[in-house]
Amino acid sequence: MEKKIYSTLILLFAGFLTFAQTDYKIGTKHKDGYTSVYTTINKKSTTTYGSTSTENRYGLLDEKTQKIVLPIKYKSAYTSYEDGLYIVQDTLEKYGLFSVKTKEFLVEPSYNKLETFTEGVCIVQKKFFVNGSSQYSYGTIDKTGKLIVPDTFIYLGVCRNGLMSFKQNGKYGYLNKQAKIAIPAMYARAEYFSDGFALAQLTDTSKIGYINTENKFVIEPKYVFAESFIKVMRMYLHRRNFIQ
């Protein structure tokens, strides 16, 4: 008799979980055939007044099978801009990388932040404390979740034209996707590349120019003010009425 009651309770609990995972609202529909779904929960306030607030919990739905592939229990879940890969934040506010194809985390939620992918590269951010002060370090992962650039850099810029800026000893240089130094840290300012060109400034007081991926100035440093190359091109095209 006791065993029968226990089995009945298990079935009821399983039924409750199934209901909980179907009682959701539709969020963003993604291009790869998956949809963000969410439920709203009540959260008790930590103040002495004891008021409650609401908070959403997110998961992912396979539109074809209408099955939940990521349980609806996370603070956020959004596209990484790589098909089938999603950036997920847990209730401890840690970020990881989830694959809807394998239905597994390629990177368990452990990072302070994950950027969306650019050119197959995702920048990750770690948070740590030194003498009670928050500090951050950066690295990159690939589409398999493998750490490519060690997460020990104090700064990493967005990857463009196969290169990303990094900071070392107060100067900026560029790494390639394989974590090899392509341009040594020698600039006081170095923007991301666009169409093979990047804004660069040797010292805080020197003029600004544009370098190519071989670290040669193709536009000599002669400007006291300049924008990143892509912004310059957009302004030029706009003035020429090529874009609105």
Nearest to 211 by CA among 188, 190, 231: 190
Express each pLDDT in 178-237 by its tens digit.
999 999 999 999 999 999 999 999 999 999 999 999 999 999 999 999 887 655 544 443
Domain boundaries along the sequence of the chain: 1-112
d(CA 104, CA 216): 44
Tell me the pLDDT of the chain averaged across its residues: 87
Express each pLDDT in 157-186 by its tens digit.
999 999 999 999 999 999 999 999 999 999
Predicted TM-score of the model (pTM) = 0.81
Nearest to 76 by CA among 53, 62, 94, 61: 94
d(CA 51, CA 19): 28
Q: How confident is the model at residue 10 (pLDDT cuts 50, 70, 90)?
A: very low
Spatial contact of 18 and 66, defined as CB atoms under 8 Å apart: no
CA 35 to chain centre: 18
pLDDT for position 21: 62
Q: Give yes or no for residue 41 having a pLDDT over 50.
A: yes
| Over residues 116-135, mean pLDDT | 96
Integer-rounded Cα Rg, in Å, for the chain is 24
| Over residues 138-143, mean pLDDT | 98
Sheet harboring 181-187: ordered strands across? 163-168, 171-176, 181-187
Express each pLDDT in 67-84 by its tens digit.
999 999 999 999 999 999
Q: Give yes or no for residue 91 having a pLDDT over 60.
A: yes
pLDDT for position 23: 86
Of residues 210 and 42, the one with the higher pLDDT is 210
Helix (H) or strand (E) holding 111: strand 104-111
> What are the tokens at 8?
């009945």
d(CA 48, CA 70): 35
pLDDT for position 51: 72
Sheet harboring 34-44: ordered strands across? 25-29, 34-44, 52-62, 67-74
